[in-house]
Structure 1
Amino acid sequence: MSAIDDLPPLREVIAAHGLTAKKALGQNFLLDLNLTAKIARAAGDLTGADVLEIGPGPGGLTRGLLAEGARHVLAVEKDTRCLAALAEIAEAYPGRLTVLNADALEVDPLAHLTPPIKVVANLPYNVGTELLVRWLTPPAWPPVWDSLTLMFQREVAERIVAHPGGKAYGRLAILAQWRAEAGIAMRLPPEAFTPPPKVASAVVRIDALPAPRWPADPAVLERVVAAAFGQRRKMLRASLKGLASDMEERLAAAGIAPTDRAEQIPIEKFCALARALTP
């Protein structure tokens, strides 16, 4: 029996089902159920929420989410080897766990979820950033999710919460912080995982704001940010010259010096530039 429920410890589950982590699937399993419960608690009160989990693997975090009172968990797992272990969890928590055997990049989970929705996941490293960008750039805001509590490589986590003036500051920071609050909830060393990855990890919590901090057309802002950080060593008058023939005048209208570089510019001024470039 484990420390959080009546199911077996994860090491026994992995041994029983032959669930060695696959590098090709970006798998690194968290086996400490007290730790997975702590990650679940980092997402806040789950009792009235549906939770989307990507890449549950043998179900350590899944069990933490259910033990912490999640109303319903939708677990999307690509690896068919994990389905039997997840079915055992579903049986232990009747009616509260749905497992989809699917690629998270190809499935629409909304048909299985009822708001309020929280996303909580130890994301597979090979799809984590792409999924995050999708969640941060929905067609309309506010998004369907209230919060994202996600495990990333520490380097990615630091890019999400970065401030202007450092090398970590870039597109991810702007996407996360323009319309949401983002912070690091906890840090984990490589030895917390099986097998241990080569890098440390961190859990980031992102809470959606009801509206953007500053007005801007999302598509225009995305183009500006992509161009600016695509050539981040260049002055903005050079990296952005393809966006408008009178770019220096547009930069001045936004209160930005043409000789500035992307990493110096706060989100508020990127939004002002996006407005200056919007027809």
Structure 2
Amino acid sequence: MSAPRDQHFLVDQRAVEKIAGFVDVSGRRVLEIGPGEGVLTRALLDRGATVVAVEVDPALVEELEFLFADEIAEGCLQLVPGDATKVDFPPFDIVVANLPYSASSKITFRLLESGFEVAVLMYQKEFARRMIARPGKPGVGRLSVMVQTYASVKPLLELSPNSFRPKPQVRSWVVRITPHEPPYPLADRGVYADVVRVLFSYRRKTVRKALRSGKDAFAPEAIERAIAGLPDDLLQLRPEDLSLEEFALIANRMSGCLHDELPARG
């Protein structure tokens, strides 16, 4: 079967076994996004998982229904046709998936909002590197800040294009994502997400100018009120130079909170 656009089937069986074994899935409900031809699905089922597989391609759904007819009848596998950026997810505990490159960001943010115990996910290598770029360091961006605010990320495995059919033009990383509470108090998580988005939309500007450019997200009076409550040295920084604590402070000021003073930058 030929691969749909943007889908690269994992054909390296040793990699499949490693990915399926990175977390204990026995007796757990595992969400798999983009099961493709079902090689990872089979490995998860063999380890005792109940799999919820979300597949956007109707031809692949039909093929999976045929290949896994017994498992579907037994209730071990639930196929969910649809786009993983939009379709409702049935209840799940763990995520194990080879994500489509073009939807990696949207799906990752959706998963973090949905909540899960642990995820083992495959990404394009450069995308995964951005996820672990430390705030205040080169390469940091909206993805880095949002993921690290709500989860820890650990690289587990690197795969070459030879592990896939058809071969992608890039290398891939498999990472473990473990959710945690934000390291600093957030008055409003929605405001925090908007602040991070706005600041990185104007990443070459200072924080002061970037906030004032964010009139699509915040009322001008709210922006000016927040700026008045923030340290001047912070307002002169660029967004890529901020720590997670400083992002939290800016968002809390935008939410109207006036506590959580920052220590002086060292």
TM-score normalised per structure 2 = 0.85
1:237·1:247 contact (CA, 8 Å) conserved in 2? no
Which of 106, 109, 112 aligns to 1:133? It is: 109
Give distance in 1, aligned partners of 2:233 and 2:33.
Answer: 40
**Residue aligned with 1:225, SS:** helix
2:55·2:79 contact (CA, 8 Å) conserved in 1? yes
User: What is the aligned partner in structure 1 of residue 41 from structure 2?
Assistant: 62
User: What is the aligned partner in structure 2 of residue 266 from structure 1?
Assistant: 243
Kindly report structure 1 stretches of 4+ aligned residues shifted beyond 6 Å. none
**Residue aligned with 2:27, SS:** coil
Give distance in 1, aligned partners of 2:9 and 2:121.
Answer: 14
User: What is the aligned partner in structure 2 of residue 3 from structure 1?
Assistant: none
Give distance in 2, aligned partners of 1:185 and 1:250.
Answer: 42
Which of 105, 115, 132 aligns to 2:85? It is: 105
Question: Runs of 5+ in structure 1 lacking a partner?
Answer: 1-18
User: What is the aligned partner in structure 2 of residue 178 from structure 1?
Assistant: 149
Give distance in 2, aligned partners of 1:86 and 1:208.
Answer: 30
Mapped pair 1:249 → 2:249: no
Which of 1, 8, 20 aligns to 2:2? It is: 20
- Aligned ranges 1:22-37 → 2 under 5 Å: 22-23=4-5, 26-37=6-17
**Residue aligned with 2:129, SS:** helix
1:81 CA displacement = 2.1
1:136 CA displacement = 2.0
Residues 12-69 of structure 1 show CA distances to partners (whole Å, capped at 9, x for unaligned) of xxxxxxx11122xx11011122211211222x11113101111111011111211232
Which of 92, 96, 121 aligns to 2:97? It is: 121
Residue 182 of structure 1 aligns with an amino acid whose one-letter code is V
User: What is the aligned partner in structure 2 of residue 15 from structure 1?
Assistant: none
Which of 31, 38, 42 aligns to 1:52? It is: 31
Give distance in 2, aligned partners of 1:36 and 1:98.
Answer: 20
1:157 CA displacement = 0.7
Q: Give RMSD over aligned pairs.
A: 2.0
- Aligned ranges 1:223-234 → 2 under 5 Å: 223-234=194-205
User: What is the aligned partner in structure 2 of residue 203 from structure 1?
Assistant: 174
1:159·1:170 contact (CA, 8 Å) conserved in 2? yes
2:226·2:253 contact (CA, 8 Å) conserved in 1? no
Give distance in 1, aligned partners of 2:233 and 2:47.
Answer: 47
User: What is the aligned partner in structure 2 of residue 212 from structure 1?
Assistant: 182
User: Share of identical aligned residues, percent?
Assistant: 36
Which of 86, 99, 122 aligns to 2:64? It is: 86
1:52·1:118 contact (CA, 8 Å) conserved in 2? yes
Give distance in 2, aligned partners of 1:48 and 1:272.
Answer: 41
User: What is the aligned partner in structure 1 of residue 263 from structure 2?
Assistant: none
Q: How many residues align?
A: 245
1:88 CA displacement = 4.7
1:153 CA displacement = 0.9
- Aligned ranges 1:5-16 → 2 under 5 Å: none
1:80 CA displacement = 2.3
1:84 CA displacement = 4.5
Distance 1:37 1:174, change over 3 A: same
TM-score normalised per structure 1 = 0.81
2:198·2:210 contact (CA, 8 Å) conserved in 1? yes
User: What is the aligned partner in structure 2 of residue 38 from structure 1?
Assistant: 18
Distance 1:218 1:119, change over 3 A: same
Residues 254-273 of structure 1 show CA distances to partners (whole Å, capped at 9, x for unaligned) of x8522211111111111122
